[in-house]
Chains A and B, each alone.
Chain A
Amino acid sequence: MRHIISVLMENEPGALSRVVGLFSQRNFNIESLTVAPTEDSTLSRLTVTTIGSDRVIEQITKQLNKLIDVVKVVDLTEGDHVERELMMIKLKASGQMRAEIKRTADIFRGQIIDVTPTTYTVQLTGASDKLDAFIETLGAAHIMEVVRTGVSGLSRGEKVLSI
């Protein structure tokens, strides 16, 4: 099953490599990974999506917690949560496709953030499956380049991950 694991860790050199190293060393899988400092500049928040059995996920959270740089770990998928991913996608846009892309982007609530006579770059935010759907709808023939940030997420309601 897919899990989203949020990690609060010291914003120190080498901390990220310990997390990434742990995943490869113990043969855990990484689907996506995103990391940036939080409002407290001494802390970074890392979000990793991974797929594994309950036993593997339990080991992942326990092993992450063992890292000295890691302050807190939570598996967001254990409770209600919101998740978002941002994608920028560059598309061949000429002739009739210009209008078609604009319409599709509107349906998906995307924004066109760069325009040239032959291309559009669309910015789209949502859960990962929505971004997948947008790519599928437009078809590979029109896609020039795709960049995705990986998943970020928060628990719903009062629940927070902080020290």
Chain B
Amino acid sequence: MEQLSGGEMLIRALKDEGVKHIYGYPGGALLHIYDALFQQGDVQHVLVRHEQAATHMADAYARATGKAGVALVTSGPGATNAVTGIATAYMDSIPMVVITGQVMSTLIGEDAFQETDMIGVSRPVVKHSFSVQNPEDIPSIIKKAFHIAESGRPGPVVVDIPKDMTNPTDRFNYEYPKSIKLRSYNPVSRGHSGQIKKAVDMVLGAKRLVIYAGGGVILGGASKELTELAQLLNAPVTNTLMGLGGYPGTDRQFIGMLGMHGSYEANMAMHHADLILAVGARFDDRVTNGVDKFCPTAKIIHVDIDPASISKTIKADVPIVGPAKHVLNEMVTLVKDSKKQPEKEAVDSWWKQIDEWRTRHGGHYRTDDSEKMKPQQVIEMLSKVTGGDAYICSDVGQHQMFAAQYYKFNKPNRWINSGGLGTMGFGLPAAMGVKMNFPDEEVVCVTGEGSIQMNIQELSTISQYNIPLKVICLNNQSLGMVRQWQDMNYESRHSHSYMESLPDFIKLAEAYGHVGMKVDKYEDLEAAMTKAFAMKDRMVFMDITVDPFEHVYPMQVPRGSMRDMWLSKTERT
């Protein structure tokens, strides 16, 4: 049997797990591991400029592929810099394995140089964590880490490795386990058939059904099953922010995103529904608005792989614990075999009502109240130029909501954003992680001049690895979402939401060796964007000036019901 050091075993185990890229930054505690990396060619390491970016790259790779991404960071500040990225993945249930260096085991607890209790620091934001205590455990720990990260409700796993566990002179027999069994961890593989039957019966009897589908559909690879079920039932589908692309965005039955900035028709349909089929969604506060006023006439069927998500905020009438793919598949079969079918008249009149709502607002925005370009116009143009087929990696703020509302996602795994934690600075490294793994696809970072500056140093990594993604920066010279809340709730006192001293982004992009483009007029937008996307081998930074006074609408009235919304600056439901 082959004899390997702890550091070599780690890299070999990653290779045996099928890992192609790892994203990281070296440091004292990782020197043995980096030396092992240097001496092999199977696992490619990508050197970022800040550890947070390494975690977002690994995270975005996972969002695009469904497989766990891997980040490698050193002890102390390396590990704490990674915490935001771990928390981002945790909130959105993204599989990730984060390997953190640690000081030598003999020094732990002695406040050694670059020591942090990473197991303790990361505990609230990981699915699980491991601390390596014997080098020979490294292969089985890595196997367990991937198994836990990717199965059930996915999530990030931290593996903390003291430096002496990777000592090159201590060598051990290496064997990578084929499979692993944990007595205390057995995620469900199927839903309860009795509950599924009950749900199908209710769905077929409903008069005003809405399917509310979240990120679980994307994570569970259940888009096809969701689409089939919805079309069999002729039911309207709304997606959460995390679920966009789970149902085709240009299909007639898609009624838009729901929640705080959801479409008028989606929120109205939810409020008036008599039955809600929730799949892989968690009724979070940005969806439900005031829980006491939530969907007063609806019964609720809740399908989720995590029992703790069911009846956490909104009580489910029919809970179904199971993977979305299996449960939806069973439902499709039962609906096809059932003699009972949805009552046509009821379904027709429900659609008539929804179409009326759709006509009333339908994502309308004004273009005549400002000389400047509207951010919505930019996203619509992006959708047109990329054929609605690009990977859109978003930062956090108004631009994120505009992208969610106006880019029509027809495929899953292409809308990549920090939904739960709302991490500014996510977009650029996320786009890097996706583009490196899908070099032939269009990958776009939609950002604002605020968010982009939170990880702007990664323009350097983009140069090093030649990652020709496109940055669409909606520059409104203010922290737009903060400003919008200040306009609506603080009598327009714009406390620190104005970005002064912005850099010249064109020169900045050029300084890193990229192409910068500035667009101020809508007339120039299409030509400029087409030109940018034609530069296949260059990173292009498009700095696009947009109306700083624009707000995101609809916007739900705080603590109201689903249907209580502002539809524009002057119009309320």
Contact = CB atoms under 8 A, between A and B. Distances in A.
Given A13-B131, A62-B308, A18 B183 contact: no
A10 to B, nearest CB: 6
Interface residues of A, number: 20
A10 B130 CA distance: 13
B131 A71 contact: no
A66 B307 CA distance: 9
Contact of B124 (A13, A14, A25): A25
B527 interface: no
A39 B148 CA distance: 28
A32 B174 CA distance: 45
A71 B123 contact: no
B184 A69 contact: yes
Nearest to A72: B184
Nearest to B124: A25
B311 interface: yes
B312 interface: yes
A58 interface: yes
B308 A68 contact: no
Interface string B274-308: 00000000000000000000000000000000111
Contacts of B67: none
Contacts of A66: 306, 308
A70 B128 CA distance: 11
A125 interface: no
B291 to A, nearest CB: 12
A68 B185 contact: yes
Interface in A19-70: 21, 25, 55, 58-59, 62-63, 65-66, 68-70
Contacts of A96: none
B128 A21 contact: no
B124 A70 contact: no
A69 B184 CA distance: 6
Nearest to B123: A21
Q: Classify chain B's interface size.
A: 10 to 19
Given A58-B311, A59-B312, A21 B124 contact: yes
Contacts of A14: 119, 129, 131
A13 B127 CA distance: 16
A49 B378 CA distance: 56
B120 interface: yes
A61 to B, nearest CB: 9
Contacts of B308: 59, 62-63, 65-66
A9 interface: yes
A71 B307 contact: no
B182 interface: yes
A10 B182 CA distance: 11
B123 A68 contact: no
A25 B126 CA distance: 13
A137 interface: no
Contacts of A163: 183
A9 B182 CA distance: 12
B148 A18 contact: no
B109 to A, nearest CB: 12
A116 interface: no
Contacts of B311: 55, 58
Given A9-B184, A68-B182, A70-B184, A17 B148 contact: no
Contacts of A71: 183-184
B120 A65 contact: no
A65 to B, nearest CB: 7
A163 to B, nearest CB: 6
Nearest to B308: A62
Nearest to A66: B308
Contact of B120 (A10, A17, A63): A17
A2 B148 CA distance: 33
A68 B128 contact: yes
Interface string B315-355: 00000000000000000000000000000000000000000
A10 B184 CA distance: 8
Residue of A18, A21, A65, A66 most packed against chain B (CB within 10 A)? A66
Max count, chain B CB within 10 A of own CB: residue among A55, A66, A68, A163:
A68
Contacts of B127: 68
Contacts of A21: 123-124
B307 A65 contact: yes
A18 B131 CA distance: 14
Contacts of A68: 127-128, 148, 182, 184-185
A10 B120 CA distance: 18
A58 B128 CA distance: 22
Contacts of A17: 120, 123
A73 to B, nearest CB: 11
Nearest to A64: B308
A63 B307 CA distance: 9
Contacts of A25: 124
The 8 closest A-B pairs by CB, nearest first: A62-B308, A68-B128, A71-B184, A25-B124, A68-B185, A21-B123, A62-B307, A63-B308
8 contacts: A14-B119, A17-B120, A25-B124, A59-B312, A62-B308, A68-B128, A71-B184, A163-B183
Given A9-B184, A14-B119, A17-B123, 16 more contacts: A13-B131, A17-B120, A18-B123, A21-B123, A21-B124, A58-B311, A65-B307, A66-B306, A66-B308, A68-B148, A68-B184, A68-B185, A69-B184, A70-B184, A71-B183, A163-B183
